[in-house]
Amino acid sequence: MQLPSFEPPITFGFGYSEIDLIVVGAGGTGGYVLQNIARLLAHHRWGQSVRCIAIDGDHVEEKNVGRQLFSHAEIGRNKAQTLTHRFNRALGLSMAAIPEMATVDMLSDLCRYKNDRVAIVIGCVDTTAARAIIHQSLIGKTLWIDSGNADTSGQVVIGSARHKSDMQGVLGPFCSMLPAPSLLYPDLIKPVPQLQPTDDQRNCAIDLVENVQSMMINSAMAMIVSEYLNTLLTKRGITRYETSIDLESLAMSSKTITATNLARSLDVETEFLTKKGR
């Protein structure tokens, strides 16, 4: 009788001591991610070795109160500035905010590798255009954690390699690179047809009022993103590169970093991942 085989996960190492956490989007999921980052920074007291920058050009609206981490008194204020100011005062931190929409030039400059400082971009956005900006700004060792959700389900993916060729020979005793979200799921950055005005006005807040979107999906997504960050920052390595959640069934599953899983995700042979090119 042939026994089932078990393929142990391979660790993706992240041994940097100087890290910038760049959160793009400070609304539904992004607000909860910033809250969790603030808790991590306050607990571990990494100081300037781990910095956080929130980027968002949106302002708080009435429909955001309750679903997102804002009060009626904050209506009209910039989201990124409001949250970082609140967490800084409450926990004695120095989180920064850029009250503008992210651009390729902005992110490229922030992600540029300086000395031993590397960036992790946390994308909490809901449009292909915004994800395309993150994709285009990835430089060198920059990691991208993408969070996306539907009404009651969502997916978090982490990686940096924009091209399949970059993944050749990355697996050995350790994993040296993971595929970027846009490499695994190209539709994340593909332009979509212009919606009709009635559809274009819809957003997560309206869906929530109409009982379409779960009240808990954004905080659930933020929890997964934050656990990836917590593991990277405290254990300096991860063994998973994708996590999916379904709140209706209360199910969660992750893909471990193995030759088989990565080969399936990239539609390549396992030898491509384990052997260096000539």
Distance in angstroms (rounded) separating the CA atoms of residues 257 and 240: 5
pLDDT for residue 201: 46
Q: Which amino acid is at 39?
A: R
Q: Is residue 163 part of a domain?
A: yes
Number of residues that make up the chain: 278
pLDDT for residue 113: 75
Angle at 64 between CA 242 and CA 36, to 5 degrees: 45
Question: Which domain, by its residues, includes 162?
Answer: 12-274
Give the pLDDT mean for 130-145. 94
Q: Is residue 182 part of a domain?
A: yes
Q: Is residue 2 part of a domain?
A: no
| Mean pLDDT for the chain overall | 91
Q: Is residue 7 part of a domain?
A: no
- The pLDDT-based confidence of 17 (bands split at 50, 70, 90) is confident
Distance in angstroms (rounded) separating the CA atoms of residues 235 and 229: 10
pLDDT for residue 196: 52
Q: Tell me: the pLDDT tens digits for 153-205?
A: 999 999 999 999 999 999 999 999 999 999 999 999 998 765 554 444 445 55
**Residue 39 maps to which CATH number?**
3.40.50.720
Q: Taking a C-beta distance cutoff of 8 angstroms, is the pair 19, 49 a contact?
A: yes
pLDDT for residue 276: 73
Put the strands of the sheet holding 18-24 in their side by side order.
Answer: 96-98, 50-55, 18-24, 117-123, 143-149, 153-159, 240-246, 251-256
Structural domains counted in the chain: 1
Q: Is residue 80 part of a domain?
A: yes
Q: Is residue 4 part of a domain?
A: no
Q: Is residue 5 part of a domain?
A: no
